Structure 1
Amino acid sequence: MQQNQPHAVLVTGSTSGIGLAIAHCFGRAGHHVMLHGLADAETASMLLDEFSGYSGGAGFSSADIASEAGCAQLVEETREAIGNPSVLINNAGIQFTAPAHEFPADKWQQILAINLSSAFFLSRDLLPAMRAASWGRIINIASVHGLVASEHKAAYCAAKHGLIGLTKVVALENADAGITANAICPGWVETPLIQPQIEKIAREQQVDLDAARALLVGAKQPLAKTTNPEAIAELALYLCGNFAGTITGAALPVDGGWSAQ
């Protein structure tokens, strides 16, 4: 990172899964971290306790980033808690599946708002200060579904493809300002969200959980192995480091070969 100094890092959707792993990774590295998610006061307090042992500061916001006003609230609360972020990691995302001809309009709008529009609003609001400082990093946690499609995921695929397009535009517009923008595109990641799917396959196929996991992941990935959330976190940290200074506008798959097919 710039002169190896601590930076203020905003990670959206960081109460669990990939987002929380990223937040901890940057916290362990000594940076100031703003946690974010729809959580109650007790959960927020527990999360902040987890970060109290790190040398950097930490804050929490429960702003609803499904709206432009909610994104502005998150920016304001972040600046109050840890200072102006020089690293923005747009991780927040939701999912809903249905055939395109049956997809509910409200779900379409909600997925695009949280998975795509929030990344635009937050980037737009934080870029001026990054440009003034001649240094900044924007990392968008996209998905393999930003590179390829799957059935019943019209809104999710549209949002993630759009997020990669946004990443490229931001990279081009800020290439002369010491700012990079990149997208990370995970395939199957080992989080609690996939456990119900694994258990369903185990019941239906009458196999153990390890075999069920391999069946689930192997249906899409040639390398039938899930990715650990910490692997995504370490890649994000690398993209903010000195050796990644010329990586910008990239969509980096971490997907076991899914998008190589």
Structure 2
Amino acid sequence: MTQSSALCGPHAPSLDLGGRTALVTGAAGGIGGACALRLAAAGAKVRAVDRDAAGLDALAERARHLAGTVEPHVLDLTDLDAAELLAAGTDVLVNNAGLQLVRPLEDFPPDVFHTVLTVMLEAPFRLIRGALPHMYAQGWGRIVNMSSVHGLRASAFKSAYVAAKHGLEGLSKTAALEGAPHGVTSNCVNPSYVRTPLVEKQIADQARAHGIPEQRVLAEVLLKDSAVQRLIEPEEVAEAVAYLCVPQASFITGTSLVLDGGWTAH
């Protein structure tokens, strides 16, 4: 059987990461936790990175019955040197960690703007920088950058988050161009609103910024432009991340996998 016919066969893509090391940031819960568990289930040894030590311990406990293992690494990603060092020897890198503040531009705290860009753009650069030598040496690697529909579209009151995600899109494409000759792919996954604590914490801020009651935020703000009127589950996003690591996805690089319920179809 030729390689092309094998790729077009009737079987669903399977993911075997036995012997591989994956690093997932923001792994203590939400999307990051779901990604860590999915990659561990595929056999990877997962370096789970977060500031939340208790959340990482709970994640490791959930993963104990899986084929892979989850190693908790408590780290604040504003420590950029430590982040780069931790990425050494990584086969799969999932840049997921993020934070959000909803404020008008004129009221947005400059220190928070700086922190958001450090965690969500500069840290991914340093993690990629730390991971690439090993990936290049072995001729294989997968970089998945957790972007957002806000990497493709802007929303009012989210200047730092939108700026960071737009920058992440460009960083991911550059990594794809440089990594292609070395068997390394780099892609973004772009969900809209996911059922996570980060989104739940936004509701009060969104209500205040838009001048509406909190109970109206979901329908009138978060899901206003979505054809599919529900939040995405973290496990759905994790499955998209996993797909970008399967052999059949080796030709997918430098692009954005959009999970937005039709938001950008408008």
- TM-score tier by shorter-chain length is 0.7 to 0.9
Aligned to 1:185: 190
Aligned to 1:72: 84
1:153-185 Cα deviation digits (max 9, x unpaired) = 111111000000000000001111100000001
SS at match of 1:247: coil
Say whether the 8 Å CA contact 2:100–2:198 is kept in structure 1.
Answer: no
Matched to 1:225, the amino acid is: R
Say whether the 8 Å CA contact 1:222–1:256 is kept in structure 2.
Answer: yes
User: Normalising by the residue count of structure 2, what TM-score does the alignment of the two structures yield?
Assistant: 0.85
Aligned to 1:52: 64
Structure 1 unaligned blocks of 5 or more = none
| Aligned pairs for 1:51-200 within 5 A | 51-75=63-87, 84-195=89-200, 197=203
Aligned to 1:246: 251
How well do the aligned residues superpose, as a CA RMSD in angstroms? Answer: 2.3
- C-alpha deviation, 1:222, in angstroms: 2.4
Say whether the 8 Å CA contact 2:26–2:96 is kept in structure 1.
Answer: yes
Aligned to 1:36: 49
1:102-136 Cα deviation digits (max 9, x unpaired) = 22110111000001111000001110110000000
Higher deviation after alignment, 133-142 or 4-13? 4-13
Aligned to 1:230: 235
Say whether the 8 Å CA contact 2:86–2:130 is kept in structure 1.
Answer: no
Distance 1:51 1:101 in 2: 44
- C-alpha deviation, 1:220, in angstroms: 2.4
Say whether the 8 Å CA contact 1:63–1:73 is kept in structure 2.
Answer: no
Q: Percent identity?
A: 36
Distance 1:180 1:244 in 2: 9
1:173-207 Cα deviation digits (max 9, x unpaired) = 11111000000011011223434639x98xx7797
- C-alpha deviation, 1:257, in angstroms: 1.4
Say whether the 8 Å CA contact 2:33–2:59 is kept in structure 1.
Answer: no
User: Normalising by the residue count of structure 1, what TM-score does the alignment of the two structures yield?
Assistant: 0.86
- Change in CA separation of 1:206 and 1:236 when aligned onto 2, cut-off 3 Å: closer
Say whether the 8 Å CA contact 1:11–1:91 is kept in structure 2.
Answer: yes
Say whether the 8 Å CA contact 1:167–1:181 is kept in structure 2.
Answer: yes
Higher deviation after alignment, 246-255 or 96-105? 96-105
Distance 2:221 2:156 in 1: 15
- Change in CA separation of 1:120 and 1:230 when aligned onto 2, cut-off 3 Å: same
- C-alpha deviation, 1:213, in angstroms: 4.3
SS at match of 2:101: coil
Distance 1:235 1:56 in 2: 19
- Change in CA separation of 1:103 and 1:58 when aligned onto 2, cut-off 3 Å: same
Distance 1:103 1:195 in 2: 20
SS at match of 1:152: coil
Distance 2:182 2:116 in 1: 31
1:21-65 Cα deviation digits (max 9, x unpaired) = 11111111221111111123x444332222211222321111111
- Change in CA separation of 1:44 and 1:252 when aligned onto 2, cut-off 3 Å: closer
Distance 2:55 2:86 in 1: 18
Distance 1:47 1:35 in 2: 9
Aligned to 2:10: none
1:21 aligned to 12, 26, 34, which one?
34
Distance 2:81 2:20 in 1: 25
- Change in CA separation of 1:111 and 1:193 when aligned onto 2, cut-off 3 Å: closer
